[in-house]
Structure 1
Amino acid sequence: MVNSFVRLAAAFLGVVTLAGCAGSEAAITAPPGVPAATSCGEVNIAVNPWSGYAANVAVVKYLLEQEVGCTVGAIELSETSSWAGLADGSIDVILENWGHDDLKKKYIDRQKVAVELGLTGNKGVIGWYVPPWMAKTYPDITDWTKLNDYAELFQTAESGEKGQFLAGDPSFVTNDATLIKNLKLDYTVVYAGSEDKLIAAFRKAQTKKTPLIGYFYEPQWLLSDIKLVHIPLPNYTPGCDAVADAVACDYQPYDLDKIGRKAFVDSGSPAATFLKNWTWTNADQNAVAKDMTKGLTAEQAARKWADAHRTTWEKWLP
């Protein structure tokens, strides 16, 4: 079955052209001796595999084409591959970056081919969740120290004698296997394979009242339909996740940001100014993502949002 992200992202597929790469801070004006771009030209956006990101692309693509006069290509890539695209010139911008300090050090600090373009305005949360019926039936299941008492409840054919912890796409940011080991929990990670399958599993668990514990995150439109219950893990403190094999704390809260290809930003393209100015809220993203998932095309969902939020996006224009 084709997952919902593939259906959402298919609308964005574009032609990729190679461009040159070149420091560190995002200055939107062209450097000395380089004339500012008089037209937008082509902009290539990375499309990462979750519906919220697809919503970002829908609105940004629509407005860049309709209001700035750009030709926009959208290329489906994993998070890591998107950063490599900034280096080889095939990608101009990553619209939603979840941390990745290691990649920032590599591509921004050392190779100097990428720059930060500021925050998206979205607040990101990654964590462990159960469907609402479980939190109501087993009130102490939201205490991580009690999870071993319920491990047998979560056993599946895939998890064997351990409880199943359901993850999503293997390419997503995740510490779950390490957390399970270091917190000494009787669980094993099983991958649903995609965001779409993870959503379907939580929907089924709530509807059928079947046990499920798994990885989830916000912003995510499903949370407006099903109020999944977050299980707090040991408190996150800066640096507690610095050593990958030693992580025993919850996920950090994310102020999601944008990353641009330095040569593109330095070109003076009006698209770079637009992308630096673009910010919106979790509610904005969720509304567009939900419309796309419920049947609107990317362009229809973007137009619907743009028509209702003109005063917001007019501030993004160069």
Structure 2
Amino acid sequence: MSRSVRNGKRIRGSLIAGVGVLGLTAVAAGCGAAETDKGAGDKNVTLLVPSWVGAEANVAVAKYLLEEELDYKVKSQQMDEPVAWDAIGRGKADAIMEDWRGVPKKEKQYIDQKKTVVDGGDLGVTGHIGWYVPKYFADAHPDVLDWKNLNKYAKDLRTTESGDKGQLLEGSPSYTTNDKYIIDNLDLDFKPVYAGSEAAQITEMKKNFKAKKPFISYWWTPQWLNSELDLVEVKLPAYKDGCDKPVEKTKCAYPNTPLKKFMNKDFAENGGDAAEFLKNFKWSTEQQNQVAQWIAGDGMSAEAAAEKWVKANKSTWGKWMP
């Protein structure tokens, strides 16, 4: 989508329109004591949206179905994962539908210690972060796909922002990544340079592709843009359990991360049909990418994209219904 992984995940920057600062401020400011007693008759649901379009796709479809099929009123608010965990843990929101396990301290605080957040089940999508180059660059220089050869190409990947080092293109500075430590611990002649957001990173990547310019970027799957840009992952040292602990010692690849949903415990137990529906919500990478592409690639509104998907996929969402 923290768009870090549990053993190296991310918190991604903003691409989502219309769910912005006012909503985030209201929830963050109210994160004091927990809300009380959500009953099965409560027809209001608050869903939090991490700031990348795949997460927006999840919430768009869930919101549409909750409102149109189950007669709930759904409020969606954009929020980075650390703040989202506070909101859910303190009863100011009901659920987050895509978590990349990037804030383990928050998980421990609210699941193990305060016991106010519970696992809402798998989303059905597995996330992976890595370093990627365009295929045209890999075809011309096949050995670039082995991290041991990256320094050989640092000079080809320099930019005005990276100075005398190769540039590793990043998204938002709010993403939790291991890249600085990987670079340092593998003695790579590179520098992370932040585009500022997922949208800005995509713009930069598309511009480079059009010009057939070489670049290397922090990137992830699932991501709708992968159907448009042919990217190839650079092989970093294989991930092994614990190889990124402590994070300052990381010198390995990111793991594959099954993405999960988390809920406020009171909502999970007393949220009636809405809670049951969200627990049942499970779709594929391809389905998420399709809705995300309609939103970010084709410029559809989230509601229109959700409606389009729902009308064509009753065999999938029908199984989510209470």
**Is 2:61 the counterpart of 1:59?**
yes
**Is 2:280 the counterpart of 1:277?**
yes
Contact preservation (8 Å) 1:131, 1:202: no
TM-score by length of 1: 0.90
Contact preservation (8 Å) 1:21, 1:263: no
Secondary structure of the residue that 1:5 maps to in structure 2? Answer: coil
Secondary structure of the residue that 1:226 maps to in structure 2? Answer: coil
Correspondence for 1:159 among 157, 162, 165: 162
State the identity %.
Answer: 42
Structure-1 residue corresponding to 2:313: 309
What code does the residue aligned with 1:43 have?
A: V
Structure-2 residue corresponding to 1:229: 232
- Report the more deviating stretch, 264-273 or 138-147: 264-273
Contact preservation (8 Å) 2:16, 2:56: no
Structure-2 residue corresponding to 1:262: 265
Q: Deviation per CA, 1:65-116, whole angstroms, max 9, x where unpaired?
A: 1111111111111111110111232221111010233321121111211000
Segments ≥4 residues shifted beyond 3 Å: 13-22
Contact preservation (8 Å) 2:14, 2:51: no
What code does the residue aligned with 2:67 have?
A: E
C-alpha distance 35-214 of structure 1, shift in aligned 2 (>3 A): closer
What code does the residue aligned with 1:297 have?
A: S
Structure 2: 5+ residue stretches without partners: 1-12
* Aligned mates of 1:68, 1:313 — CA distance in 2: 12
Matches within 5 A, 1:13-162: 20=34, 37=40, 39-100=41-102, 101-162=104-165
Contact preservation (8 Å) 2:16, 2:52: no
Structure-2 residue corresponding to 1:7: 17
* Aligned mates of 2:161, 2:179 — CA distance in 1: 16
How big is the shift at 1:122? 0.4
What code does the residue aligned with 2:15 have?
A: F
How big is the shift at 1:8? 6.6
Structure 1: 5+ residue stretches without partners: 23-33
* Aligned mates of 1:216, 1:35 — CA distance in 2: 39
Size of the alignment, in residue pairs?
Answer: 303
C-alpha distance 125-103 of structure 1, shift in aligned 2 (>3 A): same
Secondary structure of the residue that 1:7 maps to in structure 2? Answer: coil
Q: Deviation per CA, 1:175-230, whole angstroms, max 9, x where unpaired?
A: 10110001110001111110011111111111101121110001100001112111
How big is the shift at 1:138? 1.1
Structure-2 residue corresponding to 1:25: none
